Amino acid sequence: MAQPKPRSGPSIGLMIISIVLVLLGFYTLNVALATLPNDFTLGTVYFVVAVLSFGFVAFSIVRVRRGYALANPAPNKVLSVVKCRNCTFKQLKAFALGDYVTKTLGMCTQCNAANLFIDGIYGEGTQRR
């Protein structure tokens, strides 16, 4: 059974907040440059608000780009369980295209009977770092 791909990319809310902050940053930067020659304190406050809003947007972009790299997990290793109907022989083998449960494979190496079949197919979970 295939699992759906994980959702990646920025959320709509983050994009809207980023756009609003960019617009706020440009507006306050414009006001800061206009008021800086007349009122140094007010111009400085507007300039700080502009720098903070641009900084938040830059931080969000870096965080989202890092999320793209983390959103692509390594593919799982898929294994087939091979059993014999007569004896206790059991083996794990790498999944091959065309394998399915109850597929007959051939001769058993322990009892020399043509009773090998695929009993199950599963994927190993991803390992966390």
Q: For the segment 73-101, what is each residue's pLDDT rounded down to a tens digit?
A: 666 789 999 999 888 889 999 998 999 99
**What local confidence, expressed as pLDDT, does residue 28 receive?**
82
Domain containing 84: what range? 78-123
Domain assignment of residue 49, yes or no: yes
Domain assignment of residue 91, yes or no: yes
Domain assignment of residue 129, yes or no: no
Q: Decide if pLDDT at 1 tops 60.
A: no
Task: For residues 16 and 65, state if they share a domain.
Answer: yes
Rounded alpha-carbon distances, angstroms, from residue 117 to 22, 38, 74, 86: 63, 87, 29, 11
Task: For residues 97 and 63, state if they share a domain.
Answer: no
Cβ atoms 76, 98 nearer than 8 A: no
Task: For residues 20 and 62, state if they share a domain.
Answer: yes
The DSSP-derived string for 16-72 is: HHHHHHHHHHHHHHHHHHHHTTT-HHHHHHHHHHHHHHHHHHHHHHHHHHHHHHHT-
Task: For residues 91 and 63, state if they share a domain.
Answer: no
Q: Decide if pLDDT at 66 tops 50.
A: yes
**Count of domains forming the chain:** 2
Q: Which pTM value belongs to this model?
A: 0.42
**What local confidence, expressed as pLDDT, does residue 8 receive?**
56
Q: Decide if pLDDT at 5 tops 60.
A: no
Q: Decide if pLDDT at 129 tops 50.
A: no
Compute the average pLDDT of residues 100-119. 89
